[in-house]
Amino acid sequence: TRLHGWLAYTAFDLTEQRYVAVKIHQLNKNWRDEKKENYHKHACREYRIHKELDHPRIVKLYDYFSLDTDSFCTVLEYCEGNDLDFYLKQHKLMTEKEARSIIMQIVNALKYLNEIKPPIIHYDLKPGNILLVNGTACGEIKITDFGLSKIMDDDSYNSVDGMELTSQGAGTYWYLPPECFVVGKEPPKISNKVDVWSVGVIFYQCLYGRKPFGHNQSQQDILQENTILKATEVQFPPKPVVTPEAKAFIRRCLAYRKEDRIDVQQLACDPYLLPHIRKSVSTSSPAGSAVASTSGSSNNSSSN
């Protein structure tokens, strides 16, 4: 099957006694040796990054190796189900409760990527890179594809300006923020707020069944018409009905100026993503506390 742009197979690892996903990466035989070398270099960098990652919401990379001069292989954690892009094409949208659960899991992974040393910006968060482990919107997710990720090491990143975007033009334009499209003498500066914008776009798409900016446009149209550079304010259709809290959360993620946008640390602590606990009228007695706790948990299961 063709999976996420590569030829992919399910295999069984006899040593580890587990099923794995094996991707065969075929290089174009007509490429010059220099181009093949650059591709290998880029791919090996991605796999070195990915192999070190260890988080339940990130697809595990077990191994990578060359097959011959024109092809190489990656061995990944096997996940049944499909990606979020496939799900949205089949179902168009989902309930706010389901969408919020998916976003909470994505943010959990982003928090991890931000806390490791050196931190990592994924840079290519989109429905096609979000795997739904059991193929439904109400189960576990895993993030994959670190091909465009940015390592925020001391050489390239500082906390004031961020880091230079060295791969301008790459990525999936519907999910990238305005700062990635600024053209000037110097490359634009980016930070983990790129991933925050992507989270806002994905959440909006899950709720409304369409992208907030450039929904019917091609990548080329978005670039030519400066669609994202003009995306100063997100608009919400009247249907389906979405809570004001969800809309406010999307606005925080899709703040046009990166200076006004929350970062990953703030995203992880956002009130919309925290468990919704109903306050009890009486919390002075132990019994009152128990009531508050019980009502909070029942509210959490019914209103999210």
The string of pLDDT tens digits covering residues 139-159 is 999 999 887 888 876 554 455
Q: What is the pLDDT of residues 163-220, one digit of tens each?
A: 445 444 457 899 999 999 988 777 788 899 999 999 999 999 999 999 999 999 999 9
Read off the tokens for 279.
């306050």
Q: What is the pLDDT of residues 105-137, one digit of tens each?
A: 999 999 999 999 889 999 999 999 999 999 999
Q: Average pLDDT in the 240-261 region?
A: 98
DSSP for 104-157 reads HHHHHHHHHHHHSSS-EE----SGGGEEETTSSTTS-EEE---TT-EE--TTTE
CB 130 within 8 A of CB 58: no
Q: Which CATH architecture has domain 2-77?
A: 2-Layer Sandwich (3.30)
Other C-beta atoms lying within 10 Å of the C-beta of residue 178: 22
Residue 187: cis peptide before it, omega within 30 degrees of 0 = no
* Coil, strand or helix at 191: coil
d(CA 254, CA 248): 10
Q: What is the pLDDT of residues 1-58, one digit of tens each?
A: 333 336 889 999 999 999 999 988 888 888 888 888 887 787 787 788 889 999 999 9
* Coil, strand or helix at 94: coil
Chain region(s) in the chain for CATH 3.30.200.20: 2-77
For the domain covering 84-273, report its CATH number: 1.10.510.10
Chain region(s) in the chain for CATH 1.10.510.10: 84-273
- Which member of 83, 124, 195, 270 is catalytic? 124
DSSP state of 97: H
Query: Do the strands 130-132 and 82-83 form a parallel or antiparallel pair, or are they unpaired?
Result: antiparallel
Is 70 marked active-site?
no
d(CA 64, CA 76): 9
Q: Count of alpha carbons within 13 Å of 191, Cβ hemisphere only? A: 15
**Residue 269 in this model has a pLDDT that exceeds 50:** yes
- 187 burial class (0-12, 13-18, 19+ CB within 10 angstroms)? middle
- 276 burial class (0-12, 13-18, 19+ CB within 10 angstroms)? middle
**Residue 103 in this model has a pLDDT that exceeds 50:** yes
Give strand pairing partners of 163: 157, 190
**Residue 301 in this model has a pLDDT that exceeds 70:** no
Instruction: Give residue 70's pLDDT band: very low, low, confident or very high (50, 70, 90).
Output: confident
Give strand pairing partners of 120: 151
Q: What is the pLDDT of residues 250-259, one digit of tens each?
A: 999 999 999 9
**Residue 288 in this model has a pLDDT that exceeds 60:** no
- Flag whether the pTM goes above 0.95: no
Buried-exposed string 18-49: b where 16+ CB fall within 10 A, e elsewhere:
eebbbbebebeeeeeeeeeeeeeeebeebbeb
